[in-house]
Amino acid sequence: MRSSPASAPVDAAQPPRAPRTPAPVAIPLIVALLAVVLAASVLLAIGTGAAAVPPGETLRFLWAAVTGGSIAADDVTAYQIIWQVRTPRVLLAVLVGAGLSVVGVAIQAMVRNALADPFVLGVSSGASAGAVLVTVTGALAALGIYAVSAGAFLGALLVSALVYLTSRGAGGLMPLRLVLTGVAMAFGFQAVMSVIVYLVPDGESTSTVLFWSMGGFGAATWGALPVVAVVTVVTAVVLRRSARSLDVLALGDETSASLGLDTAKLRRGLFVLTSLATGAMVAVSGAIGFVGLVMPHLVRLWVGAAHVRVLTVAPLAGAIFMVWADLAARTLVAPRELPLGVITALVGVPVFVLLLRRRAYLFGGR
C-alpha cells in the first residue's frame, strides 16, 4: 500500500523540523527586520577600523562615490579608505555570507545529512590546491591579479567533476556516496597541496595555503564583486523556486518518487548549482567554515523547516553574521588580522554544540 507523505518514515538525517512555525505574516516582518539590521551592520563595518569614520561621514563619502559628488582635499584619504578598501570588502562579506547560507540549506537537503555544509564535497580543498599550484608555477599569469582566483575556481571545478563521476551510479547521485566521495577527495587534494608546499617551501605558497584554508576578505576588490553577486543572486533565486521540491526531497527518495519527484534529476541539478556557487565563492574568499553548517539550523529554529521560509531568511542572516565576523577578524588584534575561519569556528562550534544538546531532534534524535 502506498504511503502518504504524512505517514511515511522520515530519514533520520533529514533537515530538522522546528517545534513551532510562525504565522505567515511573520516572514515579511522578519525579512524587514533583518534588512534593517544588515544595512546598519554594513554602514558600521565600513566606518570601523584603524581609521574610524563616523556613520554620518561614511554615508557622505558613499553618497559622493555613488553620485559623483566632490570631496574636500582633506577628506581624500578617508574617502579612499572607505570606498576603495572597506566597501568592496564588506559587500563581498555580505555576498559570501548569503551565498554560503543558502548553499548550506540546499546541500543538507540534497544529501539528507544535517552535518553537511558547502565544503563537504571537497570543493574547498580543490580550490586551495589550484590556488597554490598557480602561485608556485606562475600559470595563468595573463590574468594578472585574478590568476590565483581563477586557479582556485578551476581546482574547485575539477574536484566537483571528479566527485560527480565517482559518486554517480545507476540510480543517479547517491547521498551517502556523495558525502564519502567528497570527504575522500578533500583529503586527497589536501595531500596534493601539502606536497606542493613541501617541495617548494617559499613564503608566498605557504601564505596562499593559509589564506585558502582559513578564508578572508583582505584581497577584496571591486572587480571581484560582479561575478560573486550574480552567482549568489542566481543561486538564491533558483533554490527558492525549488523550495517545494527540497521539502519533498528531504522526506527520502522513496517518498519523493511516490509523490512524482524525479530525485535523480533534482539532485544532479542541485549538485551542479551548489558546486559552481561554492567554487565561485571560495575563489575570492577561501574556505570559510561553519557558516553554511550552522546558519541553516539557526534559521530553521526561528522560522520553521519549510524551505521556502528558510531560503528567504537564511541569506540575510548569513550576510549579517559574515559582516560582523569579518569586522571582528580585522579589529580584534589590529593592526594584525585574524583568519576569518578562526572567528567563524569560535562562534560556530559553541553554537553547534548548544544546538546538539538542547535540540537533539534537530540532528535526528528524539
Tens-digit pLDDT profile for residues 185-242: 988 988 888 887 777 766 666 776 777 778 889 888 898 899 999 999 999 999 999 9
CA gap 91, 65 in Å, rounded? 15
Amino acid making up residue 212 = W
Does residue 53 surpass a pLDDT of 70? yes
Instruction: Note the pLDDT of residue 241.
Output: 94
- In this prediction, what percent of the chain has a pLDDT beyond 90? 37
Classify residue 365 by burial, with Cβ atoms within 10 Å: 0-12, 13-18, 19+. exposed
Q: Where are the alpha helices (DSSP H) in 138-171?
A: 147-167
Cα 259 from chain centroid (whole Å): 31
Does residue 9 surpass a pLDDT of 50? no
pLDDT category of residue 22 using cuts at 50, 70 and 90: very low
Instruction: Note the pLDDT of residue 23.
Output: 45
> pLDDT: is 75 or 24 the higher one?
75
Amino acid making up residue 366 = R
pLDDT category of residue 258 using cuts at 50, 70 and 90: confident
CB 349 within 8 A of CB 290: yes
CA distances from 256 to 111, 239, 262, 326, 331 (A): 14, 17, 8, 40, 48
Q: Where are the alpha helices (DSSP H) in the chain?
A: 26-47, 55-67, 76-80, 87-111, 123-137, 147-167, 175-199, 203-214, 225-241, 243-249, 253-258, 263-285, 291-303, 307-331, 340-358
pLDDT category of residue 4 using cuts at 50, 70 and 90: very low
Question: Which of 5-9, 112-116, 323-327 is predicted least confidently?
Answer: 5-9
Q: What is the pLDDT of residues 113-143, one digit of tens each?
A: 888 888 888 888 888 888 888 877 878 878 8
For the record, the C-alpha cell of 104 comes out as 548550506
Instruction: Note the pLDDT of residue 166.
Output: 86
Amino acid making up residue 175 = P
Instruction: Note the pLDDT of residue 205.
Output: 65
DSSP string, 72-86: -GGGHHHHHIIIIII
pLDDT category of residue 246 using cuts at 50, 70 and 90: very high
Instruction: Note the pLDDT of residue 18.
Output: 45
CA gap 105, 238 in Å, rounded? 13
Q: What are phi and psi of 23, to 5 degrees?
A: -65, 155
Question: Which of 12-16, 135-139, 158-162, 265-269 is predicted least confidently?
Answer: 12-16
Instruction: Note the pLDDT of residue 107.
Output: 92
H/E element, 173: strand 172-173
Q: Is 122 left (phi over 0), alpha (psi -120 to 50) or beta?
A: left
Q: What are phi and psi of 168, to 5 degrees?
A: -75, 130
| Strand-strand pairing, 172-173 and 168-169 | antiparallel
Domains of the chain plus CATH, in order, are 26-363 (1.10.3470.10)
Amino acid making up residue 269 = G
CB 126 within 8 A of CB 189: yes
pLDDT category of residue 101 using cuts at 50, 70 and 90: very high
What mean pLDDT is reported for the chain? 84
For the record, the C-alpha cell of 180 comes out as 564519502
Cα 263 from chain centroid (whole Å): 24
pLDDT category of residue 2 using cuts at 50, 70 and 90: very low
